Amino acid sequence: MQKIQMKTPLVEMDGDEMTRVLWQMIKDTLLTPYVDLKTEYYDLGLPHRDETGDQVTIDAANAIKKYGVGVKCATITPNSQRMDEYKLHSMWKSPNATIRAILDGTVFRAPIMVKGIEPYIRGWKAPITIARHAYGDIYKATEMKVAGPGKAELVFTAEDGQEQRALIHNFLGAGILQGMHNTKASIESFANACFTFALDTKQDLWFSTKDTISKTYDHSFKDIFAELYESKYRQAFEEAGISYFYTLIDDAVARVIRSEGGYIWACKNYDGDVMSDMVATVFGSLSMMTSVLVSPEGNYEYEAAHGTVTRHFYRYLKGETTSTNPVATIFAWTGALNKRGQLDDLPELCEFAQRLERVTLATIESGIMTGDLASQFQGEAKKVNTQDFLNAIAQGLC
């Protein structure tokens, strides 16, 4: 059989622990037998990040900027326990945070739906994709406790020395304070990424904030989205038959629960943090959730939403076979291959990626799956280990 050819390399970012094991298994079983895989390989495994002083992460992010599409394995974000475990020179930052800072992107997370694993909310028929703004607000806030009576003010000093002041509160006793910010540039790039992704995936876009209460802060988000929609995207949305819809966050929550799904829900940073966990839980689990970072320049980085599945890895090291779910990592690869195919005009590559997704889902629907899904499956489930699950998919591909 002639293997499918590629034109431009994918930026391949290897990772850690159990997902590093899955990575190789997926390539060997489902990709290289069918595709003449062209990648530029970056080893983001923690030992190599440490050896390179984390330069490899920066190089990988720049490679995504150069080629346009990357696929990333889950990686360890070091903490003090990992410092000892890996004898690290430094507590390196989260690779995802480093890559996001370089690409300046928005993360879109969507559940992978399969028949037999029904969402807890029965009305949800299609995936809800959460687009989370990944900069600022309470995640970059300054906080303070005050011990007793006094006046708190918000002060901005412009470069020319001009001051802007506003009273926050006249404290009569002890209390707490928080100052947070966002930037016009970051909100605009968030909005552009959301509109672009909606057009790309032909889904409606919802956006929600609390602009009735936060008349300047949240209202600016609302205004920036509205201005960009009118000036840049309305026509393309109408041509694509999709819509942009703004509503208050509390109204959005009620509508989301009553909806059938099948749209993108753009959320401010905190709302996205909370709502993405809710959506993931309703649809099943993190092992059935894809994640793609889209930069305002149109670069794409695909990954699984879960971590490196450490507990399974320790069992693997002891020689046990594990039933770790590879679906989200398979979908990271198919997402990246499909996008590469679109950009390079390689319909065969797109068709392969889409077929691999269909066959993966059909394998689960036929009753063959990993342990995490078997316990939720409505129907007769045969729990298999990861390699046997991949082999079953490979059989379906033939």
Per CB under 6 A, residues contacting ligand NAP are: 74-77, 96, 286-287, 303, 306-311, 324-325, 372
Output 40 or 273, the one with its CB closest to Mg ion.
Answer: 273
**DSSP track, 36-95:** ---EEEEE-SHHHHHHTTTHHHHHHHHHHHHHSEEEE-------HHHHHHTT-SS-PPPH
Nearer to ligand NAP, 43 or 211 (CB): 43
Residue 273 or 388: which CB sits closer to Mg ion? 273
What value, to the nearest 5°, has the Cα angle with vertex 204 and ends 275 and 328?
55
The least CB distance from residue 284 to ligand NAP, in Å, is 11
- CB 228 to ligand NAP: min, Å: 29
The contacts of residue 203 (CB under 8 Å, 6+ apart) are 129, 242, 262, 263, 264
Residue 322's binding partner, choosing from Mg ion, ligand NAP, none, with beta-carbon cut-off 5 to 8 A by kind?
none
SS3 of 345, please? coil
How far apart are alpha carbons 22 and 195 in whole angstroms? 33
Q: Considering beta carbons, is residue 220 or 310 the nearer one to ligand NAP?
A: 310
Rounded to a whole number of angstroms, the minimum distance from the CB of residue 322 to ligand NAP is 8
- Write down the least CB distance from residue 257 to ligand NAP, Å: 25
CB of 101 to ligand NAP, least distance (A): 15
Nearer to Mg ion, 134 or 327 (CB): 134
**Closer CB to Mg ion, 71 or 280, in the complex:** 280
Q: What DSSP letter does each residue of 99-145 carry, written as one string? A: HHHHHT-EEEEEE--BTTB--SSTT--S-EEEEE--SSGGGG-EEEE
The residue among 191 and 275 lying less far from Mg ion, judged by its C-beta, is: 275
Nearest approach, Cβ of residue 37 and ligand NAP (Å): 22
- Name the binder of 218 from ligand NAP, Mg ion, none, CB < 5-8 A by kind: none
Choices 34-42, 90-98, 268-276, 304-312 (CB under 5 A): range interacting with Mg ion: 268-276
Query: With CB under 5 A as the contact rule, which of the stretches 26-34, 152-160, 236-244, 269-277 interacts with Mg ion?
Result: 269-277
Nearer to ligand NAP (CB atom), residue 84 or residue 163? 84
Integer Cα distance of 194 and 132 in angstroms: 9
CB 210 within 8 A of CB 248: yes
Whose Cβ is closer to Mg ion: residue 273's or residue 344's? 273
Residue 273 contacts which entry, ligand NAP, Mg ion, none (Cβ below 5-8 A, type-dependent):
Mg ion
| Part in contact with Mg ion (CB under 5 A); list of ranges 39-47, 136-144, 210-218, 271-279 | 271-279
Q: How many CB atoms lie within 10 A of CB 357?
A: 18
Q: Which residues contact 266 (CB under 8 A, 6 or more apart)?
A: 131, 133, 190, 191, 194, 205, 206, 207, 208, 225
| Interaction between residue 77 and Mg ion (CB under 5 A) | no
Q: Which residues of 41-54 are buried (b: 16+ CB within 10 A; e: fewer)?
A: ebbbbbeebbebeb
307 makes contact, choosing from ligand NAP, Mg ion, none, with CB < 5 to 8 Å by partner type, with ligand NAP
User: Which residue lies nearest ligand NAP, judged by its C-beta?
Assistant: 307
Provide the minimum distance between the beta carbon of 140 and Mg ion in the complex, in angstroms, as a whole number: 16
Instruction: Give me the least distance between CB of 307 and ligand NAP, in Å please.
Output: 2
Q: SS3 for 154?
A: strand
Partner that binds at residue 364, options Mg ion, ligand NAP, none, CB closer than 5 to 8 Å by kind = none
Q: Tokens 């320790």 identify what position?
A: 314
C-alpha span between 171 and 268 (Å, rounded): 29
Which of 273, 344, 365, 388 is the binder for Mg ion (CB under 5 A)? Answer: 273
**Is residue 392 classed as helix, strand or coil in its secondary structure?**
helix
Count of residues interacting with Mg ion (CB under 5 A): 1
In the beta sheet, which residues pair with residue 301? 70, 293
Q: Is 127 exposed, middle or buried, given 0-12, 13-18 or 19+ CB atoms closer than 10 A?
A: buried
User: Which residues lie near Mg ion (CB under 5 A)?
Assistant: 273
